[in-house]
C-alpha cells in the first residue's frame, strides 16, 4: 500500500466524518427551531410537487416551480435572516466538550445537591433566582460583561447572590462545571407571543436563553416561589422539588451513562 493510497483512504474517511457531523448538527438544531422545521417541510413539499409535475407532464406547474427553486434560496435568506444569524452564532459558540461532560460522579452529585439546597431555601423564602448551567454552547457573551465570581459552587454562595439586599440579585448567575463563574448577567428575553402573560422577566429571560443555547436554566419565582426549568426553548413550569431535581440530574448526566445504567438494570432482571 502506497502513501498516496493511505492518504486517499484517510481523506475519504475524514470527508464522511465531517459530512456526518454537519448533518447531525443541522438535524439536532433543526428540531429545536419551529421556524426552521417549517422551512424544511416547505422545501420538501416543493421538491415532491416538482417531481410529480415531471412525472405527470404538468408543464405550467413545473415552470412555476423552476422559478421558485431558482429564486427561493435568496428569498429564504432575506426573509429568515435573523434565524440564520442565530444558527450561525450558535455554531460559532459550540464547544467540542462541555465542562458538564467531564464531571465525575461525585462532582455531579455535589453540584446537584448544592443547587437543590439553595433552590429549596430560595423558594421557601420567595427570593427570585435565575441560574444558567453552561453545557456545549458557550455563554461567553454573557460572562464577559457580568461580575466575575469564579468560586466553587455552594448553596451559601447562591443564596447570598439572590438575597433581596444583594446588589446582584436581579441578574442571572452562570455555572460552568462546579464553578459559579459570574453573577448579574442580563439574558435576552424571549419574543415568543404564546408565552403565558403572567410569567415575569426572569422566565422570559430564561426561555430566551434556552432558545439560543443548550444551557439548563433554573428559575425561582419571586412572586409565588414556584420553581421551573427552561430547556431547548421549552419552559417546564411549576415543578415539584422531586421533578426539578430529576430533570436537573438527568440533563447533567452523560448520555452514555444512561445507556450503561439501562444495561445494568437489564442484567439484574435476568
Q: In what order do the strands lie in the sheet with 147-152?
A: 147-152, 179-185, 172-176, 129-133, 216-220, 227-231, 234-239
- Assess contact for 206 and 228: CB atoms under 8 A: yes
3-state SS, residue 102: helix
pLDDT at site 30: 61
Grid cell of 255 as nine digits: 448520555
What count of other Cβ atoms lies within 10 Å of the Cβ of residue 222? 19
Per-residue pLDDT, 259 = 41
Per-residue pLDDT reduced to its tens digit, 244-268: 999 999 998 876 544 444 444 444 4
* Cell numbers at 102, concatenated: 467531564
* Residue 153 to residue 110: CA distance in whole angstroms: 9
Closest C-alpha among 227, 206, 7, 199 to residue 118: 227
DSSP state letters, 220-234:
E-TTT--EEEEETTE
For residue 156, the model assigns a pLDDT of 95
**d(Cα 139, Cα 135) in Å, to the nearest integer?**
9
Domains with residue ranges and CATH for the chain: 3-93 (no CATH), 99-256 (3.40.1700.10)
Closest CA to 153 of 58, 243, 241, 248: 248
**Angle in degrees, 0-180, between the axes of helices 241-252 and 105-125, rounded to the nearest 10:** 150
Q: Which residues of the chain have pLDDT under 70?
A: 1, 25-37, 80, 82-102, 255-270
Q: Specify the DSSP element, H or E, that contains 235.
A: strand 234-239
Q: Please, where are the H alpha helices in the chain? A: 3-30, 34-55, 59-79, 81-93, 105-125, 140-143, 155-161, 201-212, 241-252, 255-269
Q: Are the CB atoms for 153 and 180 separated by under 8 Å? A: yes
Residue 129: its pLDDT value, please? 95
Beta strand pairing status for 216-220 and 129-133? Answer: antiparallel
Amino acid at each position: 500500500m502506497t502513501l498516496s493510497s493511505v492518504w486517499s483512504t484517510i481523506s475519504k474517511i475524514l470527508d464522511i466524518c465531517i459530512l456526518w457531523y454537519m448533518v447531525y448538527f443541522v438535524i439536532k438544531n433543526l428540531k429545536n427551531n419551529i421556524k426552521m422545521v417549517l422551512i424544511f417541510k416547505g422545501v420538501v413539499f416543493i421538491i415532491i410537487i416538482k417531481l410529480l409535475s415531471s412525472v405527470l407532464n404538468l408543464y405550467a406547474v413545473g415552470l412555476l416551480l423552476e422559478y421558485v427553486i431558482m429564486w427561493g434560496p435568496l428569498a429564504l435568506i432575506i426573509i429568515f435572516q435573523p434565524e440564520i444569524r442565530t444558527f450561525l452564532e450558535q455554531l460559532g459558540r459550540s464547544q467540542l466538550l462541555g465542562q458538564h461532560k467531564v464531571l465525575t460522579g461525585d462532582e455531579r452529585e455535589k453540584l446537584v445537591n448544592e443547587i437543590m439546597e439553595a433552590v429549596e431555601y430560595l423558594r421557601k423564602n420567595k427570593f427570585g433566582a435565575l441560574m444558567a448551567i453552561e453545557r456545549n454552547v458557550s455563554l461567553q457573551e454573557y460572562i464577559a460583561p457580568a461580575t466575575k465570581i469564579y468560586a466553587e459552587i455552594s448553596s451559601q454562595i447562591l443564596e447570598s447572590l439572590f438575597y433581596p439586599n444583594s446588589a446582584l440579585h436581579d441578574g442571572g448567575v452562570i455555572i460552568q462545571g462546579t464553578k459559579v463563574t459570574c453573577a448579574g448577567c442580563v439574558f435576552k428575553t424571549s419574543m415568543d407571543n404564546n408565552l403565558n402573560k403572567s410569567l415575569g422577566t426572569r422566565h422570559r429571560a430564561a426561555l430566551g436563553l434556552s432558545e439560543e443555547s443548550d444551557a439548563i436554566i433554573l428559575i425561582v419565582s419571586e412572586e409565588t416561589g414556584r420553581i421551573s426549568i427552561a430547556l431547548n426553548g421549552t419552559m417546564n413550569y411549576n415543578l415539584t422539588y422531586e421533578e426539578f431535581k430529576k430533570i436537573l440530574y438527568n440533563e447533567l448526566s452523560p448520555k452514555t451513562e444512561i445507556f450503561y445504567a439501562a444495561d445494568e438494570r437489564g442484567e439484574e432482571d435476568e
